[in-house]
Amino acid sequence: MWMAQTGNNDQFTFAAGFGRTSDGSNGETSGLGYDYLMMQPTRGGGDGSRGAISFGTFDGEVGVTDGSRDLNDGGLHHVVMTVNATDLAYYVDGMQIGVAPLSTIAGASLANVSNDLAYLGRALYPDPYFEGSIYEFSIWDNALSEAEVATRFTDGCIDNCGSRYLEINRISGEAQLINSLSDESIISYSLSSAAGSLNPAGWTSIADTGDANSGGSIDADDIWTVTSATGNNLAEEEPVGGGGPDDGAPLGGGFSLGNVWSKSRFEDVTLSLTILNPDFTERVENLSVQFVGNGGEAFSRSDLDVDGDIDADDYSALLSFHLNPLPGTTAFETAPFGDIDGDLDNDFDDFRLFKNDFIAANGAAAFAALSAVPEPSAALLALVAVASLAARRRCAAITAVAAVIGGDHSTDAVTIAHWDFETDLIAGTAVNGQNVSHPSINGAFDAAIQDISGNGNHLSRFSQDGAGFAVMQFSNVVSPSNRTGSNLSIVGAPGDCCEVLSSDGDLEVGGVKVADTLSAWTIEASVNFTDSAGWQTIVGKDGIGQATAGDVNQAPLYFQKKGDGTEQFRINYVDVTGATHIVDSTTTAVAGEWYNLAATNDGNTLRIYVNGVEEGMLDITTSADTRMAALNEAGFAGDDATSDAPYAWTVARGMYNDAHGDRVNGYIDDVRISDEALTPDQLLNDTIAGLTLVVNHTTGGVFIRNDKGQAASFDYYRIDSAGGALMTSDFNGSAGWDSLSDQDADAIGPGLGESWEEVAAANSSERLVEQFLQGSTGLNNGFNVSLGAPYTGGNNGDLEFFYSEAGSAALKRGTIEYTTTDPVNPEGLAGDYNSDGKVDAADYTVWRDGDSPDSSQAGYQLWRDNYGATSAAPTAAGTAPEPTAALLGAIGCSLFIGRRRR
């Protein structure tokens, strides 16, 4: 079908429907559609267009919805729905939106579609009629393939369908209203840009250049008035009684609005017209906006100066304003100063996005040093051999100081439930890739996931094998730093939807249901998302109606990741009075990273922890009774079409408005619920092993040490001190900051971004920060790199340490370890891969051939940094000097190449 919708902006509308409208007999609801095929261009606020087949009424639909994109923009659209024996597919403008299996609803098939009614522009429900144009409609006797649909879209409309849209030139910013549909009259219009990319100075409004008072080129007999002229909104209208016959401005073939758009990456302009109908009623039409020019490509978000490339000029702007207040109040105004993600600041997230874009734009040529290490020349080997010894790098062959992880785990708290996902009670064992057992019918409870607390609060899968949904599997993807000895986690089966594990009613302790007795509690879980988008509930509690204020459709408990764009974690619960208590974290979750989460409530304060760090708290004493609302064991989910789903405590899904949702896409491990508010050192898992900032509070020495358990590379770090206990002055041998930039650490060249860069505008006694655009620094496990002696505080320091591993979107909080001794590196001569007592070209060959303990870039870096080191006596004069073992043992040093000031 080729169509253009001009009305019904926020209502359910059928463009085509085949089926029947019930008369209320046989227990059906009168006036509702039943047993139908439908194509809906609009579905009200929040839902996009949809194609569906139904066996029964709306709750028996199988369909595909196009997110939140309605087709009410006044533009021409090609919409196709195909149905075969097994699937329904939905396409908009040649692109497949999705495929839905008919098997999810028993009886959903073409054979069961009613022949009673066939409508174009009218619904089988009491919905408004379609407003707009249907130019072409066809029915085929087979399900078109994805390629066939794409071809039909490319071939275009058979009839002269016409179009109405706004075209904006990316180079000049000129906006041209184009109309080849009917000539109608407009009485107002509004251009909007959430980013603030509109240009009032370049706007040629009708009021200033085309009405009866300004030449009449667009509206010869009416007077127009500008109602808004900002970077976010340009609007004007022909007010009633403003002068003239009030018949609006004819669209004709369209007209220019001038250079209304500011050259930028922001192509978020929207245009709405108010059209005066022949019967003098009004309707609002949202037009599509098309950008042209610049070779058909939008400007990159990291092209800060909008000159068509991402280069050193752009990086200079990013670096100059990093972690500093930005001029401007809109995303358009802050973008030139490094605000890549449009949140009005320039922080780590912007650095990571810029680096990713820089690599993508400049290709392998600009990053050859990162993807392939060249053979070392004789000159390079000689240069490395004579490099100075630096006490600051400290790579001595002495055993490293162990990191302190965790503390006293003793507690008087009672564990209500603990699911470690290590065994399947029905199968008797569990291994990677094994489905959680569920031999009974869908929806029946089969105790498969053991509750190791001893309280018998086992969990069940929902569906049988082969159901295509709600099948859960065991996985060997576990956090490498877990302290429970975990070998398995839980995850949804590949290709399935609707992840969930649920309890058999309320949780119990010693055979007594917890009901509403939880006056204090702790919920813990470890999670690793494969897709971090959207709302995802890790631990939930079913129900509706307990909340008496705010959102009454919420369930009584959500321990979740938000889907509002912040992707932060949240604890949200309803107490027995109906009050809702919510605390959010500050961590932004990304895919591929493990997070150890905990939420605690001691009856007075609600807290949330991420990786052992408290990130949010709320005083909840304003409520008269803060006990958690009880589970309604008599309740059943209202959305389950397969079988009744009784209310339960859940893992991997939530509930909203009595419907299942917010499923977790990823791995979950070690879920524990306790009846007390545990302290951080009592949690199952707190920190995620990674980089540690070791601080010698007697000398001021600061070191970054890798405690991850494997080699790690990092390209960004930040040290904060609220009390101003940091020095920005260069290291002088005993005090000051020996930045990685000053050390030329891992530099690949002399240019901007080719080595570590100090963020000069952000550095102060309260903060030290460096970033590496075109590379990173690698550390083998247990090894450290020195930053000189920039610390001036005491043994009760206030330092905070943040870092990011190369390629990761996460800014991690590192562990701080205060000590009175400098850390030293593990025994064994670093870089001596053939164990001959010296680090030389032969060891490079071992690394190159993949026979070293670490064949990654970090392994090469270790060899390069220690080239020339030996465990034997020094050689005779005249050869390249090599450090003695005694000297290495005494000062814990490493070699470095050159120095540079930033």
**Of 128, 155, 182, which residue constitutes the final position of a domain?**
155
Assigned domain for 255 exists? yes
Confidence at residue 446, expressed as pLDDT on a 0 to 100 scale: 96
699 with 845, same domain?
Answer: yes
Assigned domain for 304 exists? no
CATH number of the domain bearing residue 282? 2.60.40
Reported as a single tens digit per residue, the pLDDT across 166-194 is: 999 999 999 999 988 767 899 999 999 99
573 with 432, same domain?
Answer: yes
> Which residue from 699, 15, 681 is spatially nearest to 404, judged by alpha carbons?
681
Confidence at residue 387, expressed as pLDDT on a 0 to 100 scale: 33
Assigned domain for 89 exists? yes
Q: What does pTM read for this prediction?
A: 0.64
Residues in the chain predicted with pLDDT less than 70, given as ranges, are 8-9, 159-160, 182, 364-412, 639-644, 827-828, 835-837, 871-902
284 with 326, same domain?
Answer: no
CA-based Rg of the chain, rounded to a whole angstrom? Answer: 33
Confidence at residue 253, expressed as pLDDT on a 0 to 100 scale: 86
> Which residue from 707, 679, 683, 682 is spatially nearest to 693, judged by alpha carbons?
707
Assigned domain for 134 exists? yes
Assigned domain for 305 exists? no
Q: How many domains does the chain have?
A: 5
Assigned domain for 877 exists? yes
Burial class (CB within 10 angstroms; exposed 0-12, middle 13-18, buried 19+) of 41: buried
CATH number of the domain bearing residue 556? 2.60.120.200
715 with 771, same domain?
Answer: yes
800 with 662, same domain?
Answer: no
Confidence at residue 827, expressed as pLDDT on a 0 to 100 scale: 67
324 with 381, same domain?
Answer: no
CA-angle at 502, arms to 438 and 437, nearest 5°: 15
670 with 716, same domain?
Answer: no
Query: Residue 738: how many CB atoms within 10 A of its CB?
Result: 26
517 with 666, same domain?
Answer: yes
84 with 189, same domain?
Answer: no
Residue range of the domain that includes 814:
377-405+689-902
**Of 239, 270, 296, which residue constitutes the final position of a domain?**
296
66 with 171, same domain?
Answer: no
**Of 664, 682, 700, which residue constitutes the final position of a domain?**
682
362 with 382, same domain?
Answer: no
756 close to 762: Cβ distance less than 8 angstroms: no
Assigned domain for 264 exists? yes
Confidence at residue 773, expressed as pLDDT on a 0 to 100 scale: 97
611 with 483, same domain?
Answer: yes
Give me the phi and psi of 717, to 5 degrees please: -150, 155
Assigned domain for 92 exists? yes
Residue reference for tokens 């509109």: 198
